[in-house]
Structure 1
Amino acid sequence: MSELHQAEDIKQLTERVREQNYFFSLLKQEINKAIIGQEYMVDRLLIGLLGNGHVLLEGVPGLAKTLAIKTLADAVQGEFSRIQFTPDLLPADVIGTQIYNIKENDFSIKRGPIFANFVLADEINRAPSKVQSALLEAMQEKQVTIGDETMPLPKPFLVLATQNPIDQEGTYILPEAQSDRFMLKCRIDYPSLEDERLIMKMVASSHQPVIRPVISLNTIVEAKNLINQIYLDEKIEKYILDMVFATRYPEKYGLADLKNFISFGASPRASINLAIASRAMAFLKNRAFVIPEDVKDVAKDILRHRIGLSFEAEAEEVTADEVVDRILARIQAP
């Protein structure tokens, strides 16, 4: 393809991106009526939604994690369900089960709360691995198998899981296979003083914000299809691959001192999701092409839960975010 034709294609694509992005601007405005001071979290939710991925939120209680996805569901007129993960939860409580019907002398399927557009898996690390694994097929294949029947999940389908980083009693570590299914892992921090002042006033007010639907589920599906068309230059592709491969073979990228801190590097899902999330970030910024800053903006969210830290890293209190920072500083952006 010539540079002229490529430029014309990007110009046409930019017009389509701007048309679609208008609806997502309305969506963000609607969500921000109820969610104050958490723009980072809202953007990552939208990236997960656009990228057909799932989001793992880590933060102390009271940071509006539950309210955020409930507000998102209301603003798109999607079906919302919440699953409170506890040690006594069973897989059937998540995906559903077969129930024997005496009158018909046959089994019927009772669907679980996983059959919704937006599913909140609250405190996912409080349930044992048997229950966590019940989510695997749903998150990866967008379907659920109960007995001998396989049923597709509604579109769009987004799992938002939360975990509390400070209360570790009675919790279970997420298996690597489970955490790798999450497109993004986001660390949520406290709001600023001024934002918290606004939150106090809003809660004390008798006029609570009413969230109205501003975008249809069909529009979201159309935007998802558009994301895959956003231009990703070969140089950006190499930048993404170098970043991921530096987590596996740091010595080849002049980061030999990181080798002792990494027990295993990021999986191929990291490369795939980094490309998708970068495209979604470009879309939210009203662009039809990806720039290095888009990749940098989402790099920690994509990589932090896919890098296995060694005992030496834990002993020296080296975090996955610090490893990603070192890699970002070392890999030259195009």
Structure 2
Amino acid sequence: MTDISDTLASLPSPADPAGPGIELEQTLFEVRRVIVGQDRLVERLLVALVADGHCLLEGVPGVAKTLAAQTLATVVGGTFSRIQFTPDLVPSDIVGTRVYRATQETFDVELGPIMANLVLADEINRAPAKVQSALLEAMAERQVTIGGRSFDVPEPFLVLATQNPIESEGVYQLPEAQRDRFLMKVVVDYPGDADELAILYRMSTDKPRPRRVLDPQRLRALQARAAGIFVHHAVAEYVVRLILATRDPARFGLPGIAPLLAYGASPRATLGLVAAARAQALLRGREYVLPADVRDLAVDVLAHRLVLTFDAVADGVRAEDIVHRLVAAVPPPQVAPDRRPLTPDLAAA
């Protein structure tokens, strides 16, 4: 295994990363004042936001998916819009349309709710294919097309989508290409016993109101700072090995997984895993990515991008379990923290 400690310890000292780390911790604190018992969900939402990637939330009704997105939008500032997806939705309902002005005998463009910094696509899997294709253009190209004209979405731009896994009537499966555009998919589970009681006490009377911590300009600065977080070549190679393991599990000692996977993760997953790891490193006050960051985020970044075979689906195999097995099988690069002390003010490469 490769030892990356010497390289990290020899980097020159940059500006203190504690500043961005403190801001992001304040953002987490404000969101957690409202959202109880979903610490992993809140952290993943902030990681996706700092990594400049979209996030898909899946869970049963009532586990605070929509509330978490609305609270995050309030805390980070900027414009916010919520779109309730339904089977009768048409593309113009989200991107906008052309309106004829009789007095001027001209057509004006009325932009839709997609033109916001943070867009909540509630129950995204209820919308038909035409709507998904219009949303996909905004997610991938950061623009919408109306009447042959293109309009850029505001920056920063984040789509937070929710979907309900337990309903089948009036629900459409998201296309693989669209799932691949989501940086992460976070499965939201029920809260624990103590958290359920805390929710009862906190939300049944005077509900807490979060305060604004960031603004769009500061958020863009944090995104730029995260993009410059140092990634050692050994960590980069580790990410690539994880991606290759989804395509050829037998090469990494897991031949039993090969019949379960029809398609592995794309190169977009490689870029997304590094971007998410950089954002998590910044959130934790570091200017460098550790293998632990990659391992922590692997399931959220990779699972929804895998295409399972028919036999795997019939047997109830979960993509998350496959990623867990792959992460356990692919050895990470070695970090020896006892050889030289690592300080949090390491330079971005």
Match of 1:11 among 6, 10, 13: 13
1:143-177 alpha-carbon deviations (Å, 9 max, x no partner): 11111221111111110001101112221100001
Alpha-carbon offset, residue 77 of structure 1 = 2.2
Partner of 1:211: 210
Distance 1:311 1:101 in 2: 53
Q: Does 1:101 align with 2:101?
A: yes
Q: Does 1:57 align with 2:24?
A: no
Partner of 2:337: none
Alpha-carbon offset, residue 316 of structure 1 = 2.4
Partner of 2:34: 34
Partner of 2:289: 290
Contact kept in structure 2, 1:10 and 1:231, CA below 8 Å: no
1:65-102 alpha-carbon deviations (Å, 9 max, x no partner): 11111111111222111111111000000100111111
- Over 3 Å counting, the alpha-carbon distance change for 1:261 and 1:5 in structure 2 is closer
Contact kept in structure 2, 1:115 and 1:153, CA below 8 Å: yes
Equivalent AA in structure 2 for residue 23 of structure 1: E
**SS in structure 2 at match of 1:225:** helix
Distance 1:256 1:79 in 2: 48
Find runs of 4+ consecutive structure 1 residues off by over 4 angstroms. 3-10
Specify every segment of 5 or more residues in structure 2 that has no aligned partner in the other structure, as ranges.
334-349
1:251-310 alpha-carbon deviations (Å, 9 max, x no partner): 221221111100011111100000000111111111111111100111001111111000
Partner of 1:247: 246
Distance 1:120 1:331 in 2: 36
**SS in structure 2 at match of 1:11:** coil
- Over 3 Å counting, the alpha-carbon distance change for 1:6 and 1:164 in structure 2 is closer
Equivalent AA in structure 1 for residue 117 of structure 2: N
Alpha-carbon offset, residue 106 of structure 1 = 0.9
Alpha-carbon offset, residue 8 of structure 1 = 6.2
Percent identity, aligned pairs only? 46
Contact kept in structure 2, 1:60 and 1:164, CA below 8 Å: yes
Alpha-carbon offset, residue 214 of structure 1 = 1.5
Equivalent AA in structure 2 for residue 303 of structure 1: L
Contact kept in structure 1, 2:115 and 2:153, CA below 8 Å: yes
Distance 2:241 2:169 in 1: 38
Partner of 1:225: 224
Equivalent AA in structure 2 for residue 289 of structure 1: Y
Equivalent AA in structure 1 for residue 125 of structure 2: N
- Over 3 Å counting, the alpha-carbon distance change for 1:322 and 1:6 in structure 2 is closer
TM-score (normalised: structure 2): 0.91
Identify which of structures 1 and 2 has the higher relative contact order when contacts are C-alpha pairs closer than 8 Å and 6+ apart: 2
Contact kept in structure 2, 1:123 and 1:163, CA below 8 Å: yes
Q: Does 1:269 align with 2:271?
A: no
- Over 3 Å counting, the alpha-carbon distance change for 1:6 and 1:37 in structure 2 is closer
Partner of 2:341: none
Specify every segment of 5 or more residues in structure 1 that has no aligned partner in the other structure, as ranges.
none
Q: Does 1:20 align with 2:12?
A: no
Alpha-carbon offset, residue 213 of structure 1 = 1.1
Equivalent AA in structure 1 for residue 135 of structure 2: L
Alpha-carbon offset, residue 132 of structure 1 = 0.9
Equivalent AA in structure 1 for residue 302 of structure 2: L
Distance 1:149 1:168 in 2: 36
How is 1:295-334 mapped onto 2 (pairs within 5 angstroms)? 295-334=294-333
Contact kept in structure 2, 1:10 and 1:289, CA below 8 Å: no
Alpha-carbon offset, residue 139 of structure 1 = 0.5
Partner of 1:142: 142
Distance 1:254 1:241 in 2: 16
Partner of 1:120: 120
Deviates more, 1:238-247 or 1:310-319: 310-319
Alpha-carbon offset, residue 249 of structure 1 = 1.3
1:121-157 alpha-carbon deviations (Å, 9 max, x no partner): 1111111111111111111121111112211111111
Distance 2:212 2:238 in 1: 39
- Over 3 Å counting, the alpha-carbon distance change for 1:133 and 1:311 in structure 2 is same
Contact kept in structure 2, 1:262 and 1:307, CA below 8 Å: yes
Distance 2:319 2:43 in 1: 22
Alpha-carbon offset, residue 62 of structure 1 = 0.5
